[in-house]
Amino acid sequence: ETGVTQSPTHLIKTRGQQVTLRCSSQSGHNTVSWYQQALGQGPQFIFQYYREEENGRGNFPPRFSGLQFPNYSSELNVNALELDDSALYLCASSLANRGNQETQYFGPGTRLLVL
Amino acid sequence: AQKVTQAQTEISVVEKEDVTLDCVYETRDTTYYLFWYKQPPSGELVFLIRRNSFDEQNEISGRYSWNFQKSTSSFNFTITASQVVDSAVYFCALSVNTNAGKSTFGDGTTLTVKP
């Protein structure tokens, strides 16, 4: 158990819809990262939030956006869903200490299917 | 840009055999972290080890051992006396600037241990 939770566990949407995925970080962790894992591939970095501000972004379009809240929870929003957005979405929390983030702890993920 | 290559897509062994999972990485940064994660069928990534680029000492933890060689940009993972419970997908990952939350992952190696 990493203390990181995600909801929902599974989700089915249709193309063009919008979706919000939620993550609750480990208590005290000021940083959250989101990853997309397509079937048979490794996780790909979407973006990171540190103290409620975006702190880096991977190669994902602007329709992928996020929020981080003071209570260690965060959201990943995806607009205008496409079939290729079907994947496992993982969040990971970490503690930034003097600029170092040595270890991240993953949640169980949300499996999104876009039809 | 960073890259992680796990050339072995699938490995199958019989229980009690030793098995080595290969990982080769590319980065121009001199300060980086290397990681191994285990992903069981449930989907949650389980952290196994972090290695700092300045520390080339090999590490052993029970049946697990890791061989880090900067000269060949490799960070290989060996399981001794494998067990059925070791069956999972294993990912090698790289992060630069001491930020574990912005990791680049390989595509994983699926390990099947047969009784």
Terminal-residue alpha carbon distance, chain B: 41
| Closest Cβ opposite residue B98 in set A92, A101, A104 | A101
Question: Which residues have a Cβ under 8 Å from the Cβ of B109 and sit 6 or more positions away?
Answer: B6, B8, B9, B10, B11, B21, B22, B89, B90
Tens digits of per-residue pLDDT, A44-73?
999 999 889 998 999 999 999 999 998 889
Q: Is A36 on the interface with B (CB under 8 A)?
A: no
Which residues of B are less than 8 Å from A99 in CB distance? Answer: 98
Please enumerate in sequence order all residues whose Cβ is within 8 A of that of B28, keeping only pairs 6 or more positions apart, or say none: none
Q: What is the pLDDT of residues A23-47, one digit of tens each?
A: 998 888 889 999 999 999 999 999 9
pLDDT(A96) > 80? no
Q: Are B44 and A107 in contact (CB under 8 A)?
A: yes
Mutation pick from B47, B91, B99, B109 vs chain A, by most beta carbons of A within 10 Å, is: B99
What is the distance in angstroms between the CA of the first residue and the CA of the last residue of chain A? 32
Q: Do B91 and A43 touch (CB under 8 A)?
A: yes
d(CA B3, CA B25): 6
List per-residue pLDDT tens for chain B, 115 residues long: 899 999 999 999 999 999 999 999 999 998 899 999 999 988 889 999 999 898 888 888 899 999 999 999 999 999 999 999 999 999 999 998 778 788 999 999 999 999 9
